[in-house]
Chains A and B, each alone.
Chain A
Amino acid sequence: MRRTMGVAAASAVVVLVAGCGGGGPQSSGDQKLTGDKIVLGVLNDQSGAYSELSGKNSVAAVEMAIADFTAKYGDKAVTTDITVETADHQNKPDVANSKAQEMYDRKGVDLILDVPTSSAALKVADVAKEKKKLYFNIGAATTDLTGKSCNKYTFHYAYDTYMLANGTGKTTTEQIGKNWYILYPNYAFGQDMEKSFSTAITAAGGTVVGKDGAPFPNTSGDFSTFLLKAPNLNPKPDVLGTMQAGAELVNVVKQYNEFKLRDKGVGLAVGLMFLTDIHSLTPAALAGTTYTDAWYWNFDAKNREFADRFQQKVGTRPTFAHAANYSAALQYLEAVQAAGTDDADAVVKGLEGKTVEDVFLRNGKIRAEDHRVVHDAYLAQVKPQAEVAEPWDYVKVLKTIPAAEAFRAPSADCKL
């Protein structure tokens, strides 16, 4: 009985949508959900450099979101048939492109999630636009996703280079030291980070007394030339800002400690860092380092409760990327529930301008102008070893950066 009514309601919705001229080829048919189900696609790095900070555990986070959604709505849910498709894009733009097409066309995916690596993320944005299907980016940092490459079907969820620079660059300048020496890997990501940081530091009244682009990839694994230069610059920098990531970040930090730069009065700020990076370097190696975090698992009881469930499922504490994937999947399902259909245009309409609160999004708002999802961010500092009371509890939050300040204003380059 319920089923017949459901079908009738669905038909009514479809007729109405089609009648309003909003129906494209994808909304023809007599179901409110394409294929009578919802398919979420997690497209990310499952074996390479970013597989630890996101990877398979992001799939687990999305599964948690589905379970929570199903438990909340029970048989009032728009459907209980919600599945996850995953693919490894190997951080390569061309692979990301073909996997995204395959997900939308052949696997029936309604929403693609995650996609770290900016170059790959931008390719998927193009595919989403072309197929008129939804895409929530979590893993990539480029502001182009909400700038010149923005489109109606792409949302940028967790963080971006502006948020990192504005948080770490601005706050560190105001609170820790005015003079910076910036070390960045000399390729697109590093150059972009260097620009964003220089702008934020100067705006906060600081000075970039020196900056160097280190070879990328740095085959010798040695950063000593730059680290030795830092304390001898005039004026002497208070902060070394490193924009390296992954293994290169590990090398920079190991050698920063080896040359005892902190004892020479040069503090360390890291452009982009995940909880898993701190874990692999040990908090002792990073003690005192500041960075901007989009979310921290032990920030409050609500986060901790989520982190406990996550740990039960996969064995480690979640990074911000894991929590953001959970939140993104959940908010998408809520939007479909509210719209009563998985029609992309209808869901986008429901999402635009919406204010959201969940475990990841605090004071969250999905901006209609550029599809930037804004929320509170955090300036964090790695604890001294003596204060680390339990595994994975490595940082203290120095300051909450309010959602309104954390992200840039909508860019004029973005025409949705």
Chain B
Amino acid sequence: MSGFAQNTFNGLVSGAFYALLALGLAVIFGMLRVVNFAHGAFYMLGAFGAYVLLSEAGVPFWAALVIMPVGLGLLGMALERAVIHRLTKLDPLYNFLLTFGLTLILQDLVKLRYGVQSSPYETPSLLSGSVNFGLFDFPTYRVFILGFAVLLCVAVWWVLTRTRIGMVVRASTERPDLTRAFGIDVGRWVTPVFGFGIGLAGLAGVLAAPMRAVNPLMGADLIIVVFAVVVIGGLGSIFGSVAAGFGIGLVQAWGEAYLSNFPLVSQTIVFVVMAGVLLWRPAGLFGREEAPA
């Protein structure tokens, strides 16, 4: 029983990363109709930035947790203004090429300076112990990540459903044309929303640094699963991406724990789930078919 509880807990921790990344992708896609292939690279920059801040300027984890998301959010906004917004009217192939190219450039810049070897990053001492849950012990850091991610998702949900900004963002995410017809300047919100999505990816990166290998390719490995998560949740659905993020984390953890005799199954389980969901609901679990133009 305690084994099951531990695996579930771990699944939720992995899921927290998927949820944070998928949430950013979902708001960006909703608002800009841009599938941001560079999302994984920003996650990597978040982790690498935390490492550079610590090793070269002595900036601790807690400060990096604020500096990196804000800094990357601003960088994201600058990129949106400089290049991304030029794509919105073009064939989606162009946005694939641009964001994919951006990923390669960002990865190679980091490689050029820091090499491909993983860089060290230690768990902040405040979180290095473990918490006893009666049945089992669990690393404090993982408890922190889970709590932090859940809080963040709740906060984003609150902003989106209870504030005017949220209303505008939701409306323009789901039906940009109709929102515009109500006289709301959707374009004004595009840049900050893109920056926010990138900031979330950076935040997930900082959170990952103490428990995962910090290297230039860390985002590229993860992003494939995150795309599956977004598709399962329903492209553009904010609630769907968070729910699917945690769900896929759980499915992967259980798959590894209870199907370990079938390594291929636990390896492909995410994509099997994705295929199943798409057969059943082509727009994803919480997605809606695009309204006819």
A residues near B (Cβ < 8 Å) are 47-49, 51-52, 186, 212-217, 219-222, 224-226, 228-229, 232, 246-248, 250-251, 254-255, 258-260, 276-277, 279-282, 284-285
B residues near A (Cβ < 8 Å) are 3, 6-7, 10, 13-14, 111, 115-120, 122-123, 130, 137, 139, 141-142, 208, 210-213, 215, 217-218, 221-222, 224-225, 249, 252-253, 256-257, 260, 263, 266-267
Closest to A276 in B: B117
CB distance from A356 to the nearest CB of B (A): 31
Contact B221 A219 (CB under 8 A): yes
Chain B residues with CB below 8 A from A246, complex form? 118
Contact B221 A225 (CB under 8 A): no
Chain A residues with CB below 8 A from B263, complex form? 186, 213-215
Q: Quick one: which of A217, A221, A225 contacts B256, CB cutoff 8 A?
A: A225
CA distance A52 to B139 in the complex (A): 32
Closest to A251 in B: B213
CA distance A186 to B116 in the complex (A): 22
CA distance A260 to B222 in the complex (A): 25
Contact A52 B210 (CB under 8 A): no
Question: Binding site of B, secondary structure by majority: helix, strand, loop or mixed?
Answer: helix
CA distance A52 to B119 in the complex (A): 12
CB distance from A320 to the nearest CB of B (A): 16
Contact A281 B118 (CB under 8 A): yes
CA distance A260 to B138 in the complex (A): 10
Contact B120 A282 (CB under 8 A): yes
Chain A residues with CB below 8 A from B215, complex form? 247, 250
Chain B residues with CB below 8 A from A216, complex form? 267
Can you pick out 28 interface pairs between chain A and chain B where the beta carbons lie within 8 Å of each other?
A: A51-B116, A52-B115, A52-B116, A186-B263, A186-B267, A213-B260, A214-B256, A216-B267, A219-B224, A220-B225, A220-B249, A222-B13, A222-B14, A222-B252, A225-B253, A225-B260, A228-B3, A228-B7, A248-B213, A251-B212, A251-B213, A258-B123, A258-B139, A259-B139, A260-B139, A279-B117, A280-B117, A285-B122
Q: Closest 9 interchain pairs by CB?
A: A250-B213, A247-B213, A215-B267, A225-B256, A224-B10, A52-B117, A250-B118, A282-B120, A280-B117
Chain A residues with CB below 8 A from B118, complex form? 246-247, 250, 280-281
Closest to B121 in A: A254
Known contacts A47-B116, A225-B257; A247 and B218 CB within 8 A of each other: yes
Chain A residues with CB below 8 A from B212, complex form? 221, 251, 254
CB distance from B222 to the nearest CB of A (A): 6
CA distance A248 to B224 in the complex (A): 17
Contact B213 A221 (CB under 8 A): yes
Contact B225 A219 (CB under 8 A): yes
Contact A215 B256 (CB under 8 A): yes
Chain B residues with CB below 8 A from A254, complex form? 210-213
Chain A residues with CB below 8 A from B266, complex form? 215
Closest to A232 in B: B3
Contact B225 A229 (CB under 8 A): no
CA distance A251 to B217 in the complex (A): 13
* Interface contacts beyond A51-B116, A52-B116, A221-B221: sample of 12 additional A-B pairs, CB < 8 Å, sorted by A: A220-B252, A221-B213, A224-B6, A225-B256, A226-B256, A229-B257, A258-B142, A280-B118, A280-B119, A281-B118, A284-B122, A285-B122
